[in-house]
Amino acid sequence: MGTLQTGRIDWVDYAKGFCIVMVVMMHSTLGVEAVAGREGWMHYAVAFAKPFRMPDFFMISGLFLARVINRDWRDYLDRKVMHFVYFYVLWVTIQFVFKAPGIAAEQGWQGVGLAYALAFIEPFGTLWFIYLLPVFFIVTKLTRGIPPVLIFVVAAALEIARVHTGWTLIDEFASRFVYFYSGYLLAPHIFTMATAMQARPAAAMVGLALWGILNGLLVFQGFADLQVMSLVLGFVGACAVVTAAALMAKVDLFRPLRYCGENSIVIYLAFFLPMAASRAALLKTGLITDLGTISLLVTTAGVVGALVWFWAVRGTFLGFLFRRPNWARLSPRSRVAMQPAE
């Protein structure tokens, strides 16, 4: 297992890169299909990834929590809450700048104001992930005195219960906290597993092939969404992603994917605009008729476009788009690079 010169762990970045690409692929493909009114071949890739896409993202996000959870509340809240609050407020505002005309056409400008206010109670659009992460960080720190096994059992029961209130924060907390908490609780074992997979690449690849067949069968036969089964597939799929990431890190032939992982929050924040623009352009021109190919191109545009946006503003007065300034810190300190969504 390698550690990059920046102190990052390579397979973790590969796993995050894989997950963020899967997230962009989901939004891109479903968005294209919603506009076109039909499905393309990329729909099957999105369906295959559904059982493990977000479970793995949340599990990876909890991996490094043990390093900071015992810090004082001021520093903890600065690193694990204010960091994400800043980017949520900033980017929900940016999204509204682009979406306000459409909302106003349907609901009037008063509706725009109400929708913007509601975005601070009900997570807006694609930003629900960074809205939810601070809640997970706070709950995990507050419950340190409770036996971890009990928390895990309750979290697993919430996922199995399929809580559906209509409120994203409540419903997604119930569905995802078990994976985040498992990343925090089982971090040493997850790192050990990654090392073991790198030491036995042939066995790891066989295991991945078997998992891929089983996951595909359960998904396309309609069993993946069953209670308990979804929890099992979430954990097994997350382990599969860790295994694949460990193998990719061992050979390090997929560096663009690793780079995506290093900048996963950049992609997550900014992919909506190049995704929407490329989708509109491709569907309106009609130059490409295959819906799956359009979805793939829109996915690529979302990922690359977000990174281009990031590269364009680095070192400029617009750097605050991807880097939290000192005034947005509870404990002001010298400027540092944007923290990864870990």
Residue with the larger pLDDT of the pair 148 and 6: 148
d(CA 313, CA 311): 6
- Per DSSP, helices labelled H in 119-271 are 128-142, 148-161, 168-185, 187-199, 201-220, 229-251, 255-262, 264-270
pLDDT in tens, 111-158: 788 989 999 999 988 899 999 999 999 999 999 999 999 999 999 999
Cβ contact 46:103 at 8 Å: no
Q: What is the dihedral of CA 305, 309, 310, 315, to 10 degrees?
A: 160
For position 3, what pLDDT does the model report?
52
For position 332, what pLDDT does the model report?
59
For position 100, what pLDDT does the model report?
85
Q: Which of 80-84, 104-108, 233-237, 275-279 shows the lowest mean pLDDT across its residues? A: 104-108
Q: Which residues contact 221 (CB under 8 A, 6 or more apart)?
A: none
Cβ contact 146:185 at 8 Å: no
Average pLDDT over residues 192-206: 96
Q: Is 62 helix (H, G, I), strand (E, B) or coil?
A: coil
Residue given tokens 């973790």 in the structure block = 12
Average pLDDT over residues 242-257: 93
Structural Rg of the chain based on CA atoms? 20
d(CA 135, CA 137): 5
For position 124, what pLDDT does the model report?
85
For position 4, what pLDDT does the model report?
47
The mean pLDDT value of the chain amounts to: 92
pLDDT at 5 over 90: no
For position 338, what pLDDT does the model report?
41
| 341 band by pLDDT with thresholds 50, 70 and 90 | very low
pLDDT in tens, 24-53: 999 999 999 999 999 999 999 999 999 999
Cβ contact 104:97 at 8 Å: no
Compute the C-alpha angle 174/103/54, nearest 5°.
Answer: 25
Average pLDDT over residues 294-315: 96
pTM of the model: 0.91
Residue with the larger pLDDT of the pair 334 and 68: 68
| 2 band by pLDDT with thresholds 50, 70 and 90 | low
Average pLDDT over residues 45-70: 94
Cα 220 to chain centroid distance, Å, stands at: 24
Average pLDDT over residues 68-85: 93
- Find the length of the chain: 342
For position 335, what pLDDT does the model report?
44
**What count of Cα atoms within 13 Å lies in the side-chain half-sphere of residue 112?**
14
For position 7, what pLDDT does the model report?
59
Cβ contact 119:92 at 8 Å: yes
Q: Is 28 helix (H, G, I), strand (E, B) or coil?
A: helix
Mark residue 222 as left, alpha or beta (left: phi above 0; alpha: psi -120 to 50; beta: remaining): left
Pick from 52, 26, 50, 47: which is nearest to 295 by CA?
A: 26
Pick from 20, 19, 21, 36: which is nearest to 292 by CA?
A: 36
